């Protein structure tokens, strides 16, 4: 299952990389076309056919396009690194949850073993132990509630990440559509430049392009807002990690308490063994007294027989 998830993540990253590269190419063409407009308008007004100026503009546009492509590539890597960090933190929280559940299972097993080893002769101590066990169980229940809240927070973070990814995909789709519309406008504009009588239509296309650039800027602002939301999510994840550390410390203290209880049970068992030895000694003493009593009775019976013989003798 983990290998399939890794393959799916790789496919998603490849698709995102292709989409961003296409956006970078569109941005390069957009930057090139924006730089060409002033030169082309001046060329149409002057009615000149000088081709050397066009070559210089194309070289400058290539340089600017390379810069735009580099910026898009850097933005792509930053976004991919941020998403990978989110996924790694979520996996770590899930591992902590599994570890906590294992410790709880060990804790419950120790409680069961402790309850089996209790002895009826230590009722007072047993009531104290039961009270302590109840306290530990209450603390365990509070930890379970906290664990449930952690799971809810993880699910909320995952939902927010999915929402951010969907919003990013929508923004990228809108940018791609705008670039496609812009390319169509540029093709039509190239046809209009061949005829000076359609200069007015060209101006209208330029106005539409300005509107498209405005939309593009608005989309860039929305992307910045999404990045700020990511920063807030990272802060929330750090806070959850601190809460998890506190929970682990409390679990360590619970294990120490259980160890103390086990020591008390062992001391109780040793006390019970000493009592059994005393009972055995008492039984031996009782048997000795029974033997002595039996011998005393035999002596008394013998003396009574002698006394009876003396009384039956003549002269008494």
Q: Are the beta carbons of 29 and 74 closer than 8 angstroms?
A: no
Distance between CA atoms of residues 260 and 159, nearest Å: 44
Does residue 77 register a pLDDT over 80? yes
List Cβ neighbours of 299 (8 Å cut-off, separation of 6 or more).
none
pLDDT tens sequence across 91-132? 888 888 888 888 888 878 887 777 777 665 667 776 777 888
Mean pLDDT of all residues in 70-88: 84
Q: Are the beta carbons of 73 and 24 closer than 8 angstroms?
A: yes
Q: Are the beta carbons of 177 and 215 closer than 8 angstroms?
A: no
Residue 212, judged by CB atoms within 10 A of its CB (0-12, 13-18, 19+), counts as middle
Helices (H), 117-198: 123-193
Distance between CA atoms of residues 129 and 132, nearest Å: 5
pLDDT of residue 210: 72
pLDDT of residue 31: 41
Distance between CA atoms of residues 272 and 130, nearest Å: 19
Identify the weakest region by mean pLDDT among 47-56, 59-68, 130-139, 270-279: 47-56
The secondary structure of residue 50, as a DSSP letter, is -
Q: Are the beta carbons of 204 and 167 closer than 8 angstroms?
A: no
Who wins on pLDDT, 233 or 311?
233
Does residue 40 register a pLDDT over 50? no
Q: Phi/psi at 47 (nearest 5 deg)?
A: 55, 50
pLDDT tens sequence across 171-194? 888 888 888 887 887 777 666 666
Residue 27, judged by CB atoms within 10 A of its CB (0-12, 13-18, 19+), counts as buried
Q: Encode 50-79: b = buried (16+ Cβ within 10 Å), e = exposed.
A: eeeeeeebeeebeeebeebbeebeeebeeb
How much of the chain exceeds pLDDT 70, in percent?
53
pLDDT of residue 29: 46
pLDDT of residue 23: 45
Tell me the domain boundaries of the chain.
1-87, 104-294
Does residue 237 register a pLDDT over 70? no
Who wins on pLDDT, 108 or 220?
108
How much of the chain exceeds pLDDT 90, in percent?
0
Identify the weakest region by mean pLDDT among 40-44, 90-94, 131-135, 300-304: 40-44
For the chain, how long is the longest CA-to-CA vector?
182
Distance between CA atoms of residues 310 and 275, nearest Å: 52
Does residue 28 register a pLDDT over 50? no
pLDDT of residue 11: 59
Identify the weakest region by mean pLDDT among 33-42, 146-155, 306-315: 33-42
Who wins on pLDDT, 199 or 160?
160
pLDDT tens sequence across 249-277? 776 776 777 677 667 767 766 766 666 77
Distance between CA atoms of residues 251 and 100, nearest Å: 9
The per-residue pLDDT of the chain, averaged, comes to: 70
pLDDT tens sequence across 122-171? 677 767 778 888 888 888 888 888 888 888 888 888 888 888 888 888 88
């Amino acid at each position: 299952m983990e290998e399939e998830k890794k393959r799916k993540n790789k496919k998603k990253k490849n698709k995102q990389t292709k989409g961003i590269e296409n956006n970078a190419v569109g941005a390069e063409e957009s930057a090139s076309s924006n730089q060409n407009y002033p030169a082309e308008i001046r060329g149409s007004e002057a009615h000149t056919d000088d081709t050397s100026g066009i070559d210089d503009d194309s070289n400058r546009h290539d340089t600017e396009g390379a810069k735009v492509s580099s910026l898009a590539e850097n933005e792509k890597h930053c976004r991919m690194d941020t998403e990978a960090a989110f996924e790694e933190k979520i996996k770590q929280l899930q591992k902590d949850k599994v570890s906590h559940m294992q410790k709880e299972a060990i804790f419950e097993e120790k409680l069961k073993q402790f309850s089996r080893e209790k002895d009826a002769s230590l009722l007072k101590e047993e009531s104290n132990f039961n009270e302590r066990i109840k306290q530990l169980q209450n603390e365990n229940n509070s930890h379970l509630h906290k664990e449930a809240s952690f799971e809810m927070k993880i699910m909320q973070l995952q939902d927010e990440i999915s929402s951010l990814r969907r919003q990013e995909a929508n923004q990228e789709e809108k940018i791609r559509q705008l670039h496609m519309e812009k390319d169509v406008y540029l093709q039509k504009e190239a046809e209009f430049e061949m005829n000076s009588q359609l200069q007015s239509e060209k101006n209208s296309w330029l106005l539409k392009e300005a509107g498209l650039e405005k939309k593009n800027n608005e989309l860039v602002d929305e992307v910045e807002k999404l990045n700020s939301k990511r920063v807030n999510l990272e802060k929330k994840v750090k806070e959850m990690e601190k809460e998890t550390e506190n929970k682990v410390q409390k679990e360590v203290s619970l294990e120490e308490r259980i160890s103390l209880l086990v020591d008390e049970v062992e001391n109780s068992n040793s006390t019970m063994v000493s009592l059994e030895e005393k009972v055995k000694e008492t039984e031996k003493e009782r048997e000795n007294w029974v033997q002595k009593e039996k011998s005393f009775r035999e002596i008394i019976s013998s003396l009574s027989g002698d006394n009876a013989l003396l009384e039956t003798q003549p002269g008494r």
